[in-house]
Chains A and B, each alone.
Chain A
Amino acid sequence: MALPSYATTGEKIWHYTYLTICSLIFLFLIAPILIVIPLSFNIEPYFTFTKKMLSLDPTGYSMRWYDLLLTFGMIAPDAPRDASWWADAWENAKWINAAKNSIIIGFFSTVIATTLGTIAALGLSRPEMPFRRVIMATLISPMIVPIIIVATGLFFFYSKISIQDWGIPYLGVVLAHATLGIPFVIITVTATLVGFDHSLSRAAASLGAGPTRTFFKIQMPLILPGVISGALFAFVTSFDEVVVVLFVGGLDEQTIPRQMWNGIREQISPAILSVATILVVISVLLLATVELLRRRSERLRGVTPR
């Protein structure tokens, strides 16, 4: 991207204008995400920078909204903070319960999506797979079909089979979230399998390993980075999903996004911003993990980055 030595003055001006434009676009991409972080420490219940914040006065900042996340919904939020206070928070605080629900739903839907998705990706990447194109299109479609249509369909379907009477908590939401996460698992795992050297599994077979052993000893370690990033994608999809939970989730199945949704719709308080900050930190960590996995996978498969 270095400017060639034969560039004319006009081209030089354009080059720097172009770099400025690109920086502004990057700012547009990233600023809205970062802006919530300082604002979540605002001591006032406003969504803008106060004078004190701008002058970096420590009295303009506070942890009160993070504290509110803990205490909101507790029976005795003002009691001294001993073991029983924490037990109260663990039992009753709304956001903590929402986090628990989100993690339970996310965990089970990820397990289902990753297991089924990985096995299917193994079949899909075989050259002999019949009707490959149609099946692939069907399996990816949950990512393309608008979420409101999925939620509407599930609402009718679940009330038809009355899934809430089956006595398994979270079942409806877990199945729906697994469906929504499957396309991500399929895409990442088939992408890892593209460069897979099938002579390795044949070599294992010729040395006497059965199909199961070949899978766990040869294929699994090589595709594991893809499987893990697929699983992370599936988890994030579930962790972020609100519409299906709103449509088919029971009243006690409050998740973090649903709690946020209610908070935004009713009266938006800076407590939402502190949740948002925590979620941004989590997504940075997840992104870093996926990046590392991608590099590891490329190294394993001998694909050097271009």
Chain B
Amino acid sequence: MSDAAANQPLKTADGIPLKASLARAESRARRKAFLLVLPLLAFILITFIAPIGQMLHQSFYNEGFTVREDVVSGKRTPIMVNLKQWFDENPQGSEPDEAAYAALAADLLHLQELRAAGSAGTRINYERSGSRSMFTKGARNAKKLEPPYKEAILDLDDEWSDPELWQVMRDASSGYTINFYLAALDRAKNADGEIVMVDPERQVYVKLFIRTLVLSLLITFLTFILGYPIAHLLATLPLRYSNLLMILVLLPFWTSLLVRTTSWMVLLQSQGVVNDALVASGLLGDENRLQMMYNQAGTVIAMTHILLPFMVLPLYSVMRPINPSYVRAARSLGATSFTAFRRVYFPQTIPGIGAGALLVFILSVGYYITPALVGGADGQLISNLIAFHMQKSLNWSLAAALAALLLGGILILYWLYDRLVGIDNLKLG
């Protein structure tokens, strides 16, 4: 009897095995915790993740050449259907024959009826400049086209026979395409569908990505050079002084970004405070005032100032707990102050340097406002080009592809930050 009781699993007062009861209590606690987070998670999913998903979709899907959506009624009409059929029936690299031109002529007529030649042409124009006018002209004259269509269309504009154009139309006719990513990396498909670099004078994006990386590295380095000494000073001063000095670091952090950028515009203008001070002190002639704004120098100076607190705060939080007796011990063992710093103090601050540098780098790679205002032409970063394609050139798919590439880079860095530093250690003042 007693043996049998000992072999029985432990039970709670209501007769349920303890293990099961515990598991149930634990899963209830987990559910409860998760339910608290759920509303916010749903909110972020709708207002943040879904928009970014939409953007990623836009980066490889563009229906400018497949569907015409009426602005007023929202009615969607498929366009270029005949041409699409011809592309489906004939493999990549087929010479466009009379049937192809007949399909094109039928589609141009359809475009004319829908008044959609402009938007369809724009889609082709993204990848082959000069194509939009060919479409509008072709659609205008579509009614007059008569067989043989090949000759009739080539009479309108002999560029219609360009194999590159046919390659672009083939890609665009399906909606889904990787061409915007290729364009974002300065690549394009040639007439045979192979991926090649675009003309050297049109290679801008890779250069801009590299410039963004180089300037971000430079800014990270400068914030480190400027941030390390003052973080060290703040960490070694008695708390009542360091708290006061900390305000000088936190005030820029709390001040509007636009205010800080405006201040730098005021300071750096050629008629601004810095130049005036230099001229007044005789260091600079009135005629050769320094050009510090609307170029890379402006971007670097203003961004270093703006991002400096993000370097100082993580450094400070790592330096503050460092025990000063380590350095004293090194000194008493005969190290010079420089050796003591290099061999004992500095290695202990490396986690802070990593955290600050990674944070500053992540933030500076995606910076938009400051370069847009003080960067001029050569101080622009990749974000500014995304804004340009969104607002000026209206090539939204290319903007989305550039943004997706930037986002990919940022997420890798963010993952690295989480692994090395941990998001929980992110502190704000």
Contacts and interface: CB of A to CB of B under 8 A. Distances in A.
B276 A48 contact: yes
Contact of A123 (B34, B44, B250): B34
Contact of B258 (A35, A142, A264): A264
Interface in B353-387: 362-363, 365-369, 373, 383, 386-387
Given A1-B237, A128-B26, A129-B33, A179 B43 contact: yes
A156 B56 CA distance: 10
Contacts of B260: 32-33
Given A247-B390, A283-B256, A29 B248 contact: yes
Contacts of B26: 128
Interface stretch (B111-119, B151-159, B167-175, B396-404): B396-404
Contact of A157 (B54, B254, B305): B54
B284 interface: no
A75 interface: no
Contacts of B37: 119-120, 123-124, 129, 135
A35 B263 contact: yes
A279 B383 contact: no
Which residue, of B35, B39, B258, B262, has the highest number of chain A Cβ atoms within 10 A? B258
B265 A286 contact: no
A29 B308 contact: yes
A128 B157 CA distance: 70
B249 interface: yes
A290 to B, nearest CB: 7
A305 interface: yes
B255 A146 contact: no
B399 A152 contact: yes
B418 to A, nearest CB: 6
A238 to B, nearest CB: 11
Interface residues of B, number: 93
Given A1-B233, A49-B276, A141 B48 contact: yes
A136 interface: yes
A55 interface: no
Contact of B410 (A144, A283, A306): A144
B52 interface: yes
A276 B263 contact: yes
Nearest to A290: B429
A133 B407 CA distance: 20
> Which 7 residue pairs across A and B have the least CB separation, nearest first?
A146-B366, A123-B36, A153-B51, A157-B51, A120-B40, A153-B55, A32-B263
Interface of A: 1, 11, 14, 18-19, 21-22, 25-26, 28-30, 32-33, 35-36, 39, 46-49, 112, 116-117, 119-120, 122-124, 126, 128-130, 133, 135-142, 144-150, 152-158, 160, 175-176, 178-179, 182, 184, 187-188, 190-191, 233, 236, 239-240, 242-243, 247, 257, 260-261, 264-265, 268, 272-273, 276, 279-280, 283-284, 286-287, 290-291, 294, 305-306
Given A129-B30, A135-B41, A187-B426, 12 more contacts: A1-B233, A28-B305, A120-B37, A126-B36, A138-B49, A146-B407, A148-B366, A153-B48, A179-B44, A243-B368, A280-B255, A283-B259
8 contacts: A28-B305, A32-B263, A123-B37, A130-B33, A144-B414, A148-B403, A179-B43, A187-B426
